[in-house]
Structure 1
């Protein structure tokens, strides 16, 4: 039992690292595509704010609500000797999906891969959908579509306001100012990304610790767990995910510094709102919707809808495919129990 818990904790940090690696594009795609920072400078900038999000969540927000939501998304019997296998299978599935989508340069959701993995493994174990906690999971599924839509609307509004305010300004000076502001907006988005995504891994580790009786409940997660989760996602972000940077920064629509500020600010607002309501969302979906909203202010044809439709398909397939992967992983794992 202890060995299995250690394996889950280590794999959770691996997943967190890959999550940061996979999602680095979310934080830096626009700032790299507008040439405000070099790719190396951008990942260092994003990694700093990803880790800094720990202090915001702990000392400003005052709780890790998203971790709690993830941990309680499925019901695991405390006395079940197979509960840790369910969590391990979900993790393996999420890691596999992340690596597959990274390889093909598809900005999919690490969050939904994790949720799908937990659901698939839990259903495989208990043979019923009743183990899925609808009150936790339904909002997460709804926000597959709501998060990018909210980001898109906010980005559209912000862009219109900025363009209206700056229409009589000197173009050269305006662009120079927005390049500076992009440092702020990308930092804010990285804060949102770190606080949202690192907590998901906290939830997994917390659920495993409760299932193995290492702690009595989620309120007793040791302090080293959140710290290591935020460190891992920061290190992953520093490694970057250049294939996805290309998709996010150039293939959806061309982005100027002004539009980068609008997209990142809209994405950050969306992430802060969803964290307030303890709803784990995809930072990938959020920033993609924001970039689309920015592109749509020019004209709808400025958005490369063919690329966007492919992204939506990846989003829709993430949970069911991850669930299938996890169910298979669970059945394989119990063979070697």
Structure 2
């Protein structure tokens, strides 16, 4: 315990705070479509998702090892750099949550950490080859793979059930959605909780509490799982609304197809140690499911704003992380306190702004209704 200094303790608490924001930011990944189709009631959905996120945290540690010893040089990293990187990630998560944009919590974390280490230790402190291999390539490939898989699954689902009674089809796929959404939640815990485990492990390595290339201790796994599970249970209703109602008019067969495709991609990548974005995977699955249903209309304007947020996330978080690292590096303990106070003030402002237009379990399915093209006259049966 001699290695657990005050700064290390602050970094661990900040990492768990990020994990908490990751949970409520990414609840939509697992449950947005099930809530939108009525397969699960909103509060039931987030409870199931929270519990399974905790369970998923114990399934694997391959992604955690990628974070703790893959993308940055753990011999050059200091707790101050990690703290600065986490500040960038948390503030970006809160801003995109306020705007209802399903951006990547994972890329916010990677960006904040890369920016902080680059400023604090120089560019040789970042393993850019690993960043390219383990982060950038999966970021491009994973939503495309999930989208194509969901498109094909949706097409087949409607073809197979074309002559069945609509009521029976809806009921059957809603039951299927409960299982598929639960698997996405389990996969999310397996992938995303590990990122915080990796950050805490990296902090302990940098402080000398763990040896190089060490995996996360059990208490780190448990605390990261509980933090993301609690955040998930509270529900990121703003982003759930965007993903459930803002991209396309989701029906139960589409929801099942999107969730099944996303689960497959996330679990496969977690096994391989790819620290991908579950947000991008699930968004790709939803878009693919929208395209796969005949006459369904995808709201490409919303999709475009999401894609822009994806592109901006890593460099924006890196910028904040880099600035924070510079202040911490030159200001020492005083600089760390200044950054912490500024971060708390900005976070409080964002939360206060969100309360002016609250989104919660009772109104999460309001607005963002997407029309379905039919043979009716122009202007009939469409939404603004």
Partner of 1:17: 20
For each residue in 1:30-52, what CA deviation from the matched residue of structure 2 results, as whole angstroms up to 9, or x when unmatched? 01111122211110011121112
Quick check: 1:72 aligned with 2:56? no
- Out of 38, 41, 47, the residue aligned to residue 38 of structure 1 is 41
Quick check: 1:84 aligned with 2:85? no
Partner of 1:134: 128
- Out of 54, 61, 79, the residue aligned to residue 57 of structure 2 is 54
CA contact (8 A) 2:52 2:182 kept: yes
Q: How far apart are the structure 2 equivalents of 1:301 and 1:309? A: 18
Larger radius of gyration: 2
Q: How far apart are the structure 1 equivalents of 2:244 and 2:69? A: 35
Residues 1:279 and 1:72: Cα distance change in structure 2 (over 3 Å): same
TM-score (norm 1): 0.94
Partner of 1:113: 108
- Out of 168, 172, 183, the residue aligned to residue 173 of structure 1 is 168
Matches within 5 A, 1:1-337: 2-55=5-58, 57=59, 63-76=60-73, 78=75, 83-128=78-123, 130-139=124-133, 140-219=135-214, 221-299=216-294, 302-334=297-329, 335-337=331-333
Residues 1:300 and 1:208: Cα distance change in structure 2 (over 3 Å): farther
Structure 1: gaps of 5 or more residues: 58-62
Deviation at 1:77, TM superposition (A): 5.7
Deviation at 1:159, TM superposition (A): 1.1
TM-score (norm 2): 0.82
Q: How far apart are the structure 2 equivalents of 1:259 and 1:301? A: 10
CA contact (8 A) 1:76 1:83 kept: no
Deviation at 1:299, TM superposition (A): 4.9
CA contact (8 A) 1:166 1:174 kept: yes
The DSSP-based 3-state class of the residue aligned with 1:336 is helix
Deviation at 1:336, TM superposition (A): 3.4
For each residue in 1:90-145, what CA deviation from the matched residue of structure 2 results, as whole angstroms up to 9, or x when unmatched? 111100100111111111001001111111011111232x3221332103012222
For each residue in 1:149-170, what CA deviation from the matched residue of structure 2 results, as whole angstroms up to 9, or x when unmatched? 0110110111122122211211
The DSSP-based 3-state class of the residue aligned with 2:227 is helix
Structure 2: gaps of 5 or more residues: 334-384
The DSSP-based 3-state class of the residue aligned with 2:217 is coil
CA contact (8 A) 2:189 2:225 kept: yes
Q: How far apart are the structure 2 equivalents of 1:299 and 1:316? A: 30
Q: How far apart are the structure 1 equivalents of 2:273 and 2:215? A: 19
CA contact (8 A) 2:68 2:74 kept: no
Q: How far apart are the structure 1 equivalents of 2:157 and 2:122? A: 53
Task: Provide the aligned length of Structure 1 versus Structure 2.
Answer: 328
Which gives a bigger RCO, structure 1 or 2 (Cα 8 Å, sep 6+)? 1
Q: How far apart are the structure 1 equivalents of 2:295 and 2:312? A: 26
The DSSP-based 3-state class of the residue aligned with 2:57 is helix
Deviation at 1:301, TM superposition (A): 6.8
Moved over 4 A (4+): none
Moved more, 94-103 or 137-146: 137-146
Residues 1:218 and 1:229: Cα distance change in structure 2 (over 3 Å): farther
CA contact (8 A) 2:28 2:236 kept: yes
Deviation at 1:229, TM superposition (A): 0.7
The DSSP-based 3-state class of the residue aligned with 1:302 is coil
Partner of 2:336: none
